[in-house]
Structure 1
Amino acid sequence: MTAKSAGLALCPVCHECLRWQAARPDAKQTCPRCGATVRQRHYGSIGRSWALTLTALILLIPANLLPIMTMSQFGEGEASTIVGGVVFLVHHGMVPIALIVFIASFAVPFLKITGIVVLLLSVQFKWETSPRQRTLMYRMVEYIGKWSMLDIFVIAILAKLVDLGKIASIEGNPAAVYFGLAVIMTMLAAMVFDQRLIWDATEKKENDDLRK
């Protein structure tokens, strides 16, 4: 038995357990104790999560095509993309930093977007995959989101460390802004996704099996 099937709802602010009195499951009611808005499910979360995920995917295009930083040596600078920056760092013997930039710039954003898309499709098309596995995937997406800004931090640190005037310097470029916005969009997409929707299909299937 779940709170939803028992006609209950939990206040997200004061955690008061309320009897659900709204006429529709996608409606809302007010908590009598703290006055907060209470919903059994955030039914608009799928649409909002899709919008934020697609926005992040679009933002990643200029983030990877435009120059993300300018590396200058002896007064001569050359703007480079993320791939160019990784190559530059490897060429100058900074392999660990290059690996961090590559993972933070490619692996983390695209793995996170892929995970969110899989979760959204599984809920919309009611995939018969393990809800435990999908919940674990959601937790992983949330966890790696903490490291999504690592690339921006690396550029900021390098800009401070490699600041030798006309001898050598590193500056951030517009792609860093697009990348930062893309990371924020993926974080919001994960936040607005209601993971309880993963278990709703399982609950419905179990109830149908009991009726049979």
Structure 2
Amino acid sequence: MAEHQKTAAEAGYLLCHCCRLLSRPLPGSVRPRCPRCGAVLHRRKPNSLARTWALTLTAYILYIPANLLPVMTVTMSGRGEPDTILSGVKELIVGGMWPLALLVFFASIVVPVLKLLVMTFLLLSVQFGSSWRPWERTVLYRLTESIGRWSMIDIFVITILVAVVELGALATIEAGAGAVAFGGVVVVTMFAAMSFDPRLIWDRMASKDGEVSSHPGPEAGYWMQQ
């Protein structure tokens, strides 16, 4: 078992959330500020768990109408039928556009669901002070934070179609309420990932076990850098 390694925060250093500068606040400072950008410094993001839980639960709620309500209505020759995300994927498959169907299915259904599940898992692991594989959980968080924005591909497609396909009486495309709800899911989950502080993973592990890791590895370097 590795001995507990002193963190930067324990040594009196704070990381700026804006410019990422690591600095030591002046002794006795009530609200220390970053010497480079002037932002208020915090040892950890304030109320990180509470805010992330609120945003994640909001995304779960929005995800229901995002899949039940139509995201787009295509009207051709006066006739049209609203499409949800799943029905749109089905239409693409029927039309033989398998690559586009897989892209929409992965970006609009798989990625948002996985991101919500990952955020829930990370929140629960920190909430219960889990010491299970902190480095892997940190990497999982970084991946989730970076790929979440690509879920907007469905909204991008609808926006482009609405702007381009303007053929008057021949064909029109209108965005539905489902597109608004889905856009809300993507935006809220992005804010949830931003509000979550991955350093809490290491804090809870250290406070529970008094150790950083059961084996030397890249997680120890991450621990010392934060």
* TM superposition score category, shorter chain reference: 0.7 to 0.9
Aligned with 1:100 (options 89, 98, 103): 103
User: 1:203 offset after TM fit, Å?
Assistant: 2.6
- Where in structure 2 are there 5+ consecutive unaligned residues? 1-5, 213-226
Aligned to 2:10: 5
> How many pairs were matched up?
205
Distance change >3 Å, CA 22–CA 133, structure 1 → 2: farther
Letter in 1 for 2:9: K
Say whether 1:17 aligns with 2:17: no
1:151-199 Cα offsets, whole Å, 9 max, x none, are 1012223334544433334321111011101111000000010111011
Instruction: Give the TM-score normalised by the residue count of structure 2.
Output: 0.81
Say if 1:20 and 1:121 are closer, same or farther in 2 by CA, change over 3 A.
farther
- Read off the aligned partner of 1:4 and give its amino acid letter: A
Q: For each residue in 1:49-104, what CA deviation from the matched residue of structure 2 results, as whole angstroms up to 9, or x when unmatched?
A: 00000001101111111111112232201112111111122222322222222112
Q: TM-score if structure 1 supplies the norm length?
A: 0.86
C-alpha displacement of 1:7: 2.8
Out of 71, 75, 100, the residue aligned to residue 72 of structure 1 is 75
CA deviation digits over 1:120-172, x for unaligned, max 9?
00100012311111001101111211302111012223334544433334321
Is 1:180 equivalent to 2:183 in the alignment?
yes
Following superposition of structure 1 onto structure 2, how do residues 111-190 of structure 1 map, counting pairs within 5 Å? Answer: 111-190=114-193
CA distance, structure 1, for counterparts of residue 50 and residue 210 of structure 2 = 27
Query: Distance in 2 between the 1:11 and 1:137 partners?
Result: 23
Could you tell me which residue of structure 2 aligns to residue 194 of structure 1? 197
CA contact (8 A) 1:101 1:154 kept: no
Structure 2 counterpart of 1:44, from 34, 42, 47:
47
Counterpart for residue 62 of structure 1: 65
**Alpha carbons of structure 1 residues 166 and 119: separation in structure 2 relative to 1, 3 Å:** same
What CA distance in whole angstroms lies between the structure 2 residues aligned with 1:66 and 1:174? Answer: 6
Q: Residues 32 and 139 from structure 1, CA distance in 2 versus in 1: closer, same or farther, beyond 3 angstroms?
A: closer
| Distance in 2 of aligned mates of 1:162 and 1:87 | 21
